[in-house]
Chains A and B, each alone.
Chain A
Amino acid sequence: AQKVTQAQTEISVVEKEDVTLDCVYETRDTTYYLFWYKQPPSGELVFLIRRNSFDEQNEISGRYSWNFQKSTSSFNFTITASQVVDSAVYFCALSEVDYGQNFVFGPGTRLSVLP
């Protein structure tokens, strides 16, 4: 069965520090998609990135970057020069393709950025 693990339950950093959120997944599919979503205190989930299993290129978007490594089944998310507005719960998610269309979220990591 598919599974998403986010071992860091809570992280606190001081503004301007870099922080990496870990995500490890399990799947038997060869074709799958990985996602990161942000859930700010307002509660509405916000899409950040989607990556398919055949594209291991790292991606950078402003202060955000993602490192996808199939060899270790990891899809880690780094925020550079964190800001208070980055404070939120971040979810990693997995969607399999070969064996159905299940969409599974990890338990989330709560990030607190202190001024």
Chain B
Amino acid sequence: EAGVAQSPRYKIIEKRQSVAFWCNPISGHATLYWYQQILGQGPKLLIQFQNNGVVDDSQLPKDRFSAERLKGVDSTLKIQPAKLEDSAVYLCASSSVTGSSYNEQFFGPGTRLTVL
């Protein structure tokens, strides 16, 4: 079974530029999560989708971050414009049971973003 795919693996941009990350969850997984992991910290949930609907985006900085999952499968996370403090690893995860964050999540390898 293929795991969660993410691209790109690394991205370096200058502040005020835009960037987008892509995630393809495990086939059949209805729930998809985006996390931000700053160096030395635990992952912080940014947004949770169930199919193509948003379940929780309470910690997403909506003035600059946006995410979509149009067909209920893959997802993109965008930052526009980027700030220095956005430097982090962005992790995507998926789980097979709908609507329940307490089920096992499978994580992708992450995208390491550096904002200069």
Contacts and interface: CB of A to CB of B under 8 A. Distances in A.
Interface in A24-78: 32-33, 35, 37, 42-47, 50, 52
B43 A101 contact: no
Contacts, number: 58
| Interface SS, A side | strand
Contact of B56 (A37, A100, A106): A100
14 contacts: A32-B102, A42-B109, A43-B89, A44-B108, A44-B110, A45-B93, A47-B104, A52-B102, A93-B42, A101-B102, A102-B45, A102-B56, A107-B41, A108-B42
Interface in B89-114: 89, 91, 93, 99-110
Given A91-B42, A108-B41, A108-B42, A103 B107 contact: no
Interface of A: 4, 32-33, 35, 37, 42-47, 50, 52, 91, 93, 95, 97, 100-108
Contact of B48 (A33, A35, A101, A105): A101
B102 A47 contact: no
Given A44-B109, A47-B106, A101 B101 contact: yes
Chain B interface size band reads 20 to 34
A4 B41 CA distance: 12
Nearest to A108: B42
Interface of B: 33, 40-45, 48, 55-56, 89, 91, 93, 99-110
Contact of A101 (B42, B55, B106): B55
Nearest to B106: A47
Contacts of B103: 50
The 8 residue pairs across chains A and B that have the minimum distance between CB atoms: A105-B42, A33-B102, A101-B101, A95-B102, A45-B107, A103-B101, A95-B101, A105-B43
Contact of B44 (A32, A35, A42, A105): A105
A39 to B, nearest CB: 9
B110 A50 contact: no
